[in-house]
């Protein structure tokens, strides 16, 4: 089973999830919502 934690908003939450073997996490602490153009710019070559 793959585990995804949603709503991670603090470093302590993330650390606890890692210690407990959580596979994936998402939330404002890890990244804010962005537009498609912002997302595409992250992967754009130099």
Per-residue pLDDT, 17: 97
Domain count, the chain: 1
pLDDT-derived band at 8 (thresholds 50, 70, 90) equals: very high
Residue 46: pLDDT band with limits 50, 70, 90: low
> What residues make up the domain containing 28?
4-42
Q: Express each pLDDT in 9-41 by its tens digit.
A: 999 999 999 999 999 999 999 999 999 999 899
Among 44, 13, 16, CA closest to 30? 13
38: which residues sit within 8 A by CB, 6+ positions away?
none
Global pTM reads 0.69
């Amino acid at each position: 089973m793959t585990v995804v934690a949603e709503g991670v908003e603090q470093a302590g939450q993330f650390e606890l999830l890692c210690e407990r073997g959580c596979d994936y996490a998402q939330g404002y602490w890890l990244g804010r919502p962005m537009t498609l153009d912002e997302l595409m710019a992250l992967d754009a070559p130099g």
